[in-house]
Amino acid sequence: MRSPPRWPRPAPARLVAVALLVAALAGGFAAAAVPGDGYGHARRMYMRNKVLEMFYHAYENYMTYAFPHDELKPLTKSFTDSLSELGNLNLERLPQDYNGSALTLVESLSSLVVLGNLTEFERGVLWLSENLTFDVDARINLFEGNIRLLGGLISGHLLAKDYNNDLKVGQYKDQLLHLAENLGRRFLPAFETPTGLPYAWINLKYGVMENETTETSTSGCGSLILEMGALSRLTGDSRYEAAALRALRKLWSMRSSLNLVGTTLDVLTGKWIEYSSGIGAGVDSFYEYLIKAYVLFGSDEYWDMFHPAYLAVQKYFRHGPWYHEADMRTGEATHWQLTSLQAFWPGLQTLLGDVAAANLSHREFYNVWQRFGVLPERYLLDFGMLHPTEKYYPLRPEFAESTFYLYQATKDPWYLEVGEAIIGSLNYYTKVEGGFASVRDVSTMKLEDHQHSFFLSETCKYLFLLYDDSFLRNQNYIFTTEGHPLPIRSSWHEKIPATHVPSNLTSVKDDSQPIRVSALTSQVCPETVSRQSVGSPWESACHIPDVFPTHRCRTDDDCGVESASCKRRTCSMAGYCGLWLAAY
């Protein structure tokens, strides 16, 4: 890649203040702005502009000091090429004029559109079209390359097509899609294993290297379907989706009898290496992509995997508002710890309509945020202390993401105030002259010289959407795990589930028949149903009401499932349903 001339400062974002609609799940919750939510228009616009300032402070410093390299080092106002960090890049074998993959620019494309800055978006598209190449001797992590580069290019392509009439410099001609297809082809050799599970590392020029490690994570081979599936739908080449789906099916076949998966595995033997698992690092996006693939592609196969997996998580990992780790074989707790990556879970639960459970966990994450000023990478719940080595905060977006989803579902202005706290902390602790720096130690707030690209692709994006969701006015999107929006299109769906058609929702409101299944089983969004029917029995995704409203029972079959804990209720000797057996 050749170095371009320095770009001028980005043009101010063009913004439109309007009422909006977002439906993250078909038939899901509305996202129209609520002027009377008690927060106030002026205050909302003030916070929106604060996020704009944050984004452009980070973006402009990247463009000034790091572009076209991958990421910014804000303390020294220099750059780092993340490909070398992610994949032990052999710098000696690179072309001398190689300047990185412009990772932060790729990751910023969708954020520029969300913020309304199509001028800067178009300039980014043109530069990438003329300069970006993947024909380099670089060993990169397949998962990171998929969610960051491939996802950023695919999302950018779809947005360029949608906003083509608003672009000024000629017509968009699928340049980003061509780059995405080129990158996707380079990923395919990673899937050539006896199990179909992909290698964790791939050399962009030479494929899988000799003596490559065969160990990968559950997320690494189970979180590829959104980007690879979208690439197949856009190009007509089924190989990408087929490879990702084969890996996902194999991974699901390796689950335990409890419907739990482990954390790491061997791609050649298909055997688990690490049996302890949770909803945090190494596993998180596996659950996320199952439900989002179901929404994006409409195949019941994804639901049939997600449904039992979600219930297993609620049964074996949950302890009150927290989620510990457990052995996938026995369900026995292994590690009692909070990790910052777990903060995505309330957002996922909100997509399901399990808002009560989502809110409970979200408030606990907020309490930890308030205690430290940011969210530490790992907090030991059993000792009530920080992890001795993982005390950092790399500007992660998950807590802001869940805050955005919960506000969209509830319109409770309390979540806007949580957003204020996040924005205040980021500006107070991490903003420096050269951008935004990661926190090395949350106990001292000592900074680290790294501004991750996801700060622009996710953290700033979700905070902006919290106060101004104009971007979501005319189109429903699913956001990838890296925050890249993919439009929900009926043409991509195998079918639209009948239970999501509003006219069929009367079936869950029929008082003449007892409801003996959960919202998950019936595939309905309880938050939506409760708005349409006061007194709806659907309280959470796993809730199953008792047969009799008096909670009297003759056998365990007369008892349901708790809405908050997702634990099975049993019939006591006195004839009442309740959580009588601690063994659950």
Burial group, residue 363, by CB count within 10 angstroms (0-12, 13-18, 19+) = middle
**458 carries an active-site annotation:** no
Render 259-314 in DSSP notation, one character per residue. Answer: S---SEEETTT--EEE-EE-SSTTTHHHHHHHHHHHHHH--HHHHHHHHHHHHHHH
Q: Determine if residue 481 is labeled as part of a ligand binding site.
A: yes
CA–CA gap between residue 396 and residue 462 (Å, rounded): 11
Query: CA 426 to CA 418: how far, in whole Å?
Result: 13
Strands 264-266 vs 272-274: parallel, antiparallel or unpaired: antiparallel
The answer to whether residues 103 and 1 touch, using CB atoms and an 8 Å cutoff, is no
Give the integer Cα–Cα distance in Å for 531 and 509.
12
User: Distances from the Cα of 129 to the Cαs of 1, 101, 118, 156, 557, in angstroms?
Assistant: 11, 12, 16, 12, 62
**Cis? peptide before 68, omega within 30° of 0:** yes
Contacts of 42 (CB under 8 A, 6+ apart): none
Alpha-carbon distances of 50 from 43, 157, 282, 402, 435, rounded to whole Å: 11, 28, 33, 20, 14
Residue with tokens 């960051």: 148
Q: Which of 71, 81, 181, 284 is catalytic?
A: 284
Confirm whether 284 is a catalytic residue.
Answer: yes
Burial class for 447, CB neighbours closer than 10 Å (0-12, 13-18, 19+): middle
Catalytic residue among 81, 144, 448, 458: 144
Coil, helix or strand at residue 227: helix
Please check whether residue 496 is in contact with residue 26, taking contact to mean a CB–CB distance below 8 angstroms.
Answer: yes
Contacts of 345 (CB under 8 A, 6+ apart): 279, 284, 323, 358, 361, 402
* Active-site residue (options: 120, 122, 377, 469): 377
Q: Which tokens hold the place of 260?
A: 């739990």
Q: Assign 81 to helix, strand or coil.
A: coil
φ, ψ (nearest 5 deg) of residue 512 = -75, -15
Beta carbons of 293 and 229 less than 8 angstroms apart = yes
Active site residue 420: no
Which residues lie closer than 8 Å to 219 by C-beta, 6 or more apart?
Answer: 143, 281, 282, 283, 284, 285, 286
How many other CB atoms are found less than 10 A from the CB of residue 7?
15
For the question of residue 354 being annotated catalytic, the response is no
Task: State residue 81 phi and psi, 5-degree precision.
Answer: -95, 105
Select which of 398, 401, 539, 562 is catalytic: 398
Q: What value does the CA radius of gyration of the chain take, rounded to a whole number of Å? A: 24
Helix (H/G/I), strand (E/B), else coil: 250 = helix
Residue 546 has what DSSP assignment?
-
Amino acid identity of residue 358, one-letter, is: A
Binding region: 481
Binding site for Ca(2+), by residue number, is: 481
List, by residue number, the catalytic residues: 144, 284, 377, 398
